[in-house]
Structure 1
Amino acid sequence: MTYRIEALPIAPFAPFFTMTDAELAAVGARRWVADAPGRAPCRVSLRDAEAGERLVLVHHVHMTDPSSPYRASGPIFVREAAVEAEPVEGPAPEMLRKRPLSLRIYDRRNMMLEGLVIDGTELDARLEEWFGHPATEQVHIHFAPRGCYLARAVRQEPSLP
């Protein structure tokens, strides 16, 4: 069984880049300038913003299933210069591997099977392990200290020849 790590699409966030600070504040978002490397991970490009780079900090719903008690949302950063990352079929991007992570493992009904905190260097091995379980459908990857959503890994069935 294989998996792929997916970034968020840029389209839903593009309107934020042209908003004024007042318009952003009215929708609960903020403009942000990265003050140091590694402090603002972009969920669209799956890379960290460089110091001085402009981003928006917005609220994002990452578990949208209204029938699941695990529906969830929270703040995310999106770089104004972000280019949407292609799905990654391993190894995980550096942005994920260098952080302490919280993994939330879900089945097809969006019910949580397990949650655990790991060192980012363990991510690929843990995803391989969890996608070896037939019940695992997706894994949400969060920044462990603050709980912010980073990306998700989804089951990818092997392609037929």
Structure 2
Amino acid sequence: MSGFQIQPFPVDRVRPLFALDERELARHGARRVTAQADVGYPCRVGLRDVRSGESLIALSYEHLPDRSPYRASGPVFVSDTRPARPEVNEWPDMLSRRPLSLRLYDERHDMIDAVLVHGSEAPAQVHALLDRTEAAYLHVHLQPRGCFACEIRRAQ
């Protein structure tokens, strides 16, 4: 069984957005939002649900920028928080509470498999998917909306 490692969100790419006003954010296709509940605003930087009243930035994030038929981007929330650095095989609570789609990719960035799973059962599926010889990495998407959550690779 392969160990897995959740890859840190590239916070350096989004941190400058927090200093921008609403007009400048709009030029970047982003906007500042305030969480209206304790659930439903998952921060990709901290891999946690932000609390009601906390500020986030909603933006379109290209999570599969490589040239392939599966090139993709989509909306994510980010907060100005300390980046999560999960340990090998660590599964964040934010992911445990949700239905997820696990999408498996090969070195050519082609999707080779996908499964729907409840977050509490996902680590076993992650291990099984990454044990496949053709597997390069997988993406976790939050269901039912399908927003990108994080990338996972085999632990080194």
TM-score norm. by structure 1 comes to 0.92
Find the residue that maps to 2:12 and give its secondary structure. coil
Aligned-pair Cα RMSD in Å:
1.1
Correspondences of 1:1-161 after superposition (within 5 Å) = 1-66=2-67, 68-80=68-80, 82-157=81-156
CA displacement 1:21-51 (0-9 Å, x = unmatched) = 1111122111011111121111111111011
Deviating 4+ runs (over 2 angstroms): none
| Separation in 2, partners of 1:119, 1:138 | 19
Q: Which ranges of structure 2 fall in alignment gaps of 5 or more residues? A: none
Q: Say whether the 8 Å CA contact 1:8–1:151 is kept in structure 2.
A: yes
Give the counterpart letter for 1:30 in structure 2.
R
Long gaps (5+) in structure 1? none
Aligned amino acid, residue 13 of structure 2: P
The percent identity for this pair of structures is: 39
**2:8·2:83 contact (CA, 8 Å) conserved in 1?**
yes
1:112-159, CA deviations, whole angstroms, 9 ceiling, x for partnerless residues?
A: 1111211111110100111121111111000121110000110224xx
Name the SS for the 1:59 alignment partner: strand
**Cα distance in 1 for residues equivalent to 2:3 and 2:32:** 37
Matched positions, count? 155
SS of the residue corresponding to residue 76 of structure 1 reads: strand
